[in-house]
Amino acid sequence: MEHRLFRTQIGADWVDYNGHLRDAYYLLIFSQAVDALMDTLGLDASAREASGRSLFTLEVHLNYLREVKENQTVEVRLQVLGHDQKRLHLYLSLYREGQEEAVAVSEQMLLHVDTNGPRSAPFSATTLARIEGLVVAQGEMERPEYAGRIISLPAQKHRG
Using CB atoms within 10 A of its CB, is residue 34 exposed (0-12), middle (13-18) or buried (19+)? buried
Helical ranges in the chain per DSSP H: 23-40, 45-51, 125-138
1 CB-side CA count, 13 A = 4
11 CB neighbour count, 10 Å cutoff: 11
| Terminal Cα distance for the chain, rounded | 53
Domain boundaries, the chain: 3-138
Provide the residue type at 87 as one letter. R
Closest CA to 110 of 100, 97, 123, 101: 123
Residues 6+ apart with CB under 8 A from 46: none
Q: What span, in angstroms and rounded, lies between the C-alpha atoms of 102 and 105?
A: 7
Q: What is the dihedral of CA 121, 124, 127, 131, to 10 degrees?
A: 70
Closest CA to 107 of 57, 38, 39: 57
Query: For the chain, what's the residue count?
Result: 160
3-138 under CATH 3.10.129.10, yes or no? yes
Can you give the C-alpha Rg of the chain in angstroms?
Answer: 18
pLDDT tens digits in sequence order for the chain, 160 residues long: 788 999 999 999 999 999 999 999 999 999 999 999 999 999 999 999 999 999 999 999 999 999 999 999 999 999 999 999 999 999 999 999 999 999 999 999 999 999 999 999 999 999 999 999 999 999 999 999 999 999 999 888 876 6
Is the distance from CB of 43 to CB of 55 less than 8 angstroms?
Answer: yes
Q: What's the pTM?
A: 0.92
